[in-house]
Amino acid sequence: MEERALRISSVLLVLLTAAVCMVFPYLPTLRTWSSEVREGRIAEEEYAQSQDRMQDLEMRENGGQGQLRIRLPEGVDGSAVEITNDYVTQTVRVVVPGTNEAYFESEPISGSSSYINMLSYANQGEEGVIEIVTNQVYELDMGTEEGYVYFNFLSPHEVYDKVIVIDAGHGGRAPGATKQGIKEKDIDLAITQRLQEIFAASGENIGVYVTRTDDSNPTFDQRVQLANRSQADLFISIHNNSIASGRMSGVRGTQVMYDEKSEESRRFAQICLEEVTAELGSVDKGLIEGDSIYIIRTSEVPVALIEVGFMTNREELALLNSPEYQRQAAQGIYNAVMRAFEEGY
């Protein structure tokens, strides 16, 4: 009886050891998986709190092809109107001075609604705000004529040869990993900003859209829909890693997650892994299947989530916090994007 129990214990020990060996390579990514639900809830709350109270606005359809025209209040010049285009939420925000309720009730907007999901307004003192939520990401071709402001909607590919979306992970009340007072969200954003600078200096006609430029926290859906609705050629999410326990350790290196349903995503992730490790001299920690991550499994374009380094490694943490290493990481990602384009993406 004792011998049989010993054999069973030995078999269970072997199975447990095998299971640990199989799971070990994926342990560093468990932090990302386990925090996704919590961070998603935080992002949704932050977004809801940031929204103005808006009312539905009626427009006059004229059957035009994508052009909208806003009639200005009497005495207001087109140069006084402020127009911003939030690519992340696909919201065009128009601030018009000299408005009142009667102005908004008179259907001040005319044109085609084929590009519009929602049209609303808020009257705020001596100025009014018009919000136009579009069905895709668009660039605006704007102009003024006497008494009117107008704009046409252009798809990113009508403006640029190639389009990429860069997601700086975390943000706001979702800092990501925090070690020795250093927050992952700040490193992710710094690398993204360096990458934007490299693309801007390259002279290439590449449209670069980013999910955040500051300490904001777009929802997961907003991040991935920026890629989907701009019909991006490539989608890159920048993160930094930690081991599952969160303790400091000797584990270091670069990993890249990909969409296991997409061979294009896997190949792009491999390119990112090779180029980033080559530029940084970091350890190649391999590719990780990433369909458990919302922005990966819902991306309609080739996606790679790059875990640049381990914040739970003291030496690597110091490097990740250095502007020069952040610039090198950005250069590696840039090299990966340009190589991917050369290889047919």
Alpha helices in the chain (DSSP H): 2-23, 30-50, 101-105, 156-159, 184-202, 220-229, 263-280, 294-297, 314-320, 323-342
What is the pLDDT at residue 3? 57
**Cβ–Cβ contacts within 10 Å for residue 115, how many?**
20
What is the pLDDT at residue 38? 75
Domain ranges of the chain: 52-154, 158-342
What is the pLDDT at residue 28? 45
What is the pLDDT at residue 149? 95
Torsion-angle region of 111 (φ positive above 0: left; ψ -120 to 50: alpha; else: beta): left
- 55 residue type, one letter: Q
**Cβ–Cβ contacts within 10 Å for residue 46, how many?**
17
What is the pLDDT at residue 124? 85
pTM to 2 decimal places: 0.87
Same fold, 52-154 and 158-342: no
Sequence-separated (6 or more) residues with CB below 8 Å from residue 45? none
Bridge partners of 306, per DSSP, are: 238, 256
CA distance linking residue 190 with residue 196, whole number of Å: 10
What is the pLDDT at residue 105? 93
Q: Determine the Cα angle at 308 with ends 302 and 313, to 5°.
A: 150
Which has the closest alpha carbon to 345: 155, 139, 163, 157?
163
Phi, psi of 228 (to 5 degrees): -65, -45
What is the architecture of the domain spanning 52-154? Sandwich (2.60)
Q: Which two tokens stand for residue 248?
A: 């400091």
Largest alpha-carbon pair distance within the chain? 98
What is the architecture of the domain spanning 158-342? 3-Layer(aba) Sandwich (3.40)
Per-residue pLDDT of the chain (345 residues; tens, 9 = 90+): 555 555 555 555 555 544 444 544 444 444 555 577 777 777 766 656 656 679 999 999 986 666 899 999 999 999 999 999 999 999 999 999 999 999 999 999 999 889 999 999 998 888 999 999 999 999 999 999 889 999 999 999 999 999 999 999 999 999 999 999 999 999 999 999 999 999 999 999 999 999 999 999 999 999 999 999 999 999 999 999 999 999 999 999 999 999 999 999 999 999 999 999 999 999 999 999 999 999 999 999 999 999 999 999 999 999 999 999 999 999 999 999 999 999 999
What is the pLDDT at residue 209? 98
Q: Which two tokens stand for residue 259?
A: 């969409």
CA distances, 55 to each of 52, 77, 126, 128 (Å) = 10, 25, 17, 11
